[in-house]
Structure 1
Amino acid sequence: MRLDVVTIFPEYLEPLNVSLVGKARARGQLDVRVHDLRAWTHDRHNTVDDTPYGGGPGMVMKPEPWGEALDEIIESGVGEPGDGGDGAVKLPALVVPTPSGRPFTQALAVELAERPWLVFAPARYEGIDRRVIDEYAERLDVYEISIGDYVLAGGEAAVLVITEAVARLLPGVLGNAESHRDDSFAPGAMADLLEGPVYTKPPQWRDRGIPEVLLSGHHGKIARWRRDEAFRRTSHNRPDLIERCDPAVLDKYDRELLAELGWEELPGGRFGRPGPAVEE
């Protein structure tokens, strides 16, 4: 996979040289290219922003440097391995981190991991002139993505979050290919549950042991315990996930545990907690 990041703070992306992402880069599994947006400015102050039309606080990133940067990066796909050898431009997907984007989820990370080339456009100030997004949406798949309901000083931190979530899904990046199977929010068997608690050696630490079932060697009981703990943690920390849970994916033990935790199946095939009794 190839990743390009255009930013006015290239040094912010230094963490891409360490940990799993750094190792994937060293092994050639991930081709990361960081570009300084100011390289596409033409005045002595390397200006990338200007005041917003219509007034208001803050500054807006200018379209000209973004357009030149993205055009050059897209054009660089010509002749790269895997382009079919016909000289055609290999088109990336454009990822724009923004608080007004769609929520970043594990399912979206899986979708992005299937793309061979991502270009990130992290904004600063009040954002990028909207015409840039509209222009490239006519020829590229554009993902406007929010990593949470809060506002950062810029999009570079979101680039790091998205890159790490995507990179660990690529074949060969994790040492154990099954490591992400039971992640929190992983699609499939755990039905969008949070991951439960984990333990390692020693068996006793500060007078605290570990659950006996994990020492039993009984794989069925261990799997049941892990699923139960995932339900307990999800119920406590993310009840919204229980509310959206599809009853069709649950077995009778799941239903019994949810009832124990105070949930009931409501009309329409969803779960909820009964409200306080109303006196007549």
Structure 2
Amino acid sequence: MKIDILTLFPEMFEVFNHSIMKRAQESGRLELSIVNIRDYSVNKHRKADDYPYGGGAGMVMTPQPIVDCIKNVKENNKGKVIFLGPRGERFNHEKAQELSHEESLIFLCGHYEGIDERTRKYIDEEISLGDFILTGGEMACLPIVDSISRLIPGVLGSEESFMDESFYNGLLEYPQYTRPADFEGDKVPEVLLSGHHDNIKKWRKIKSLEITKRYRKDLYDEYILTKDDIKLLKNKKKYLKD
């Protein structure tokens, strides 16, 4: 997948040069480019913002550098232009899955008091991270691009790496344990040490259902219990012995 991120602050995306995102780029599964909008400003000081007409606090990103930046990037990236802003659809795992199937994407990060309204004709879609205020679109872009990228085939070690994660199947993830088996008298559940893979799978599903119901009742209410789920919950004492 090819992703271009248009921003006034390229240095904020240095985090993508580490860990899984770095390996994804080195393997060629992800082509990530950070584009500085200021480079397209015709202002001799590379200015990309100005005071809003009508007055008010703060500055507004001017249309010229944004539009010229989009046009230039579009020459090598035909993907949809996505603006990170409050008018958009709220981002979730389903949206991440949808976008992970795209061949290319362009993300536009707003800043200050936002972008000149006339810029919006060059935007295909708007996405919001949630109903709260951030210092700029960069802060929303980081988790969104990370979430999408990890769903690209081959980016993670195996498909199971994300299939068992929270939200993949509509539920929160089951508890995880590692060595030592006994930490300060708190022991790892026996079923995880048993080597009985079917029982471990059932234990994990029961725990996932219980944790979701306890911490995210909204997700649990939307989840449709299967016949196997109902059977597991009825006989959960059999699998939850510690």
Shift of 1:219: 2.1
CA distance change for structure 1 residues 53 and 178 in 2, over 3 Å: closer, same or farther? same
- Seq. identity, %: 39
Cα RMSD after superposing both structures: 2.0
**Structure 1 residue matching 2:106: 3-state secondary structure:** strand
Bigger shift: residues 54-63 or 106-115: 54-63
Alignment of 1:193-232 (within 5 A): 193-232=171-210
8 A Cα contact 2:21 2:146, kept in partner = yes
Distance in 1, matches of 2:55 and 2:206, equals: 54
* Number of the residue aligned with 1:154: 136
The count of aligned residue pairs is 236
* Number of the residue aligned with 2:59: 59
92, 96, 109: which one pairs with 1:122? 109
Shift of 1:177: 2.6
CA distance change for structure 1 residues 175 and 247 in 2, over 3 Å: closer, same or farther? closer
Q: Which amino acid aligns with 2:128?
A: S
CA distance change for structure 1 residues 235 and 46 in 2, over 3 Å: closer, same or farther? same
1:122-162 CA-partner distances (Å, limit 9, x unpaired) = 110111123222x124xxxx331122221110111222111
Alignment of 1:65-76 (within 5 A): 65-76=65-76
Q: Which amino acid aligns with 1:136?
A: Y
Normalised TM-score (structure 1): 0.78
Q: Which runs of 5+ in 2 are unaligned?
A: 237-242
CA distance change for structure 1 residues 44 and 257 in 2, over 3 Å: closer, same or farther? farther
Normalised TM-score (structure 2): 0.90
**2:168 paired with 1:186:** yes
Shift of 1:67: 0.5
Shift of 1:255: 5.9
* Number of the residue aligned with 2:239: none
91, 100, 104: which one pairs with 2:91? 104
* Number of the residue aligned with 1:168: 150
Q: Which runs of 5+ in 1 are unaligned?
A: 78-90, 259-280
Alignment of 1:41-56 (within 5 A): 41-56=41-56
Which one has more relative contact order, counting CA pairs under 8 Å at least 6 apart?
Answer: 2
Structure with greater helix percent: 2
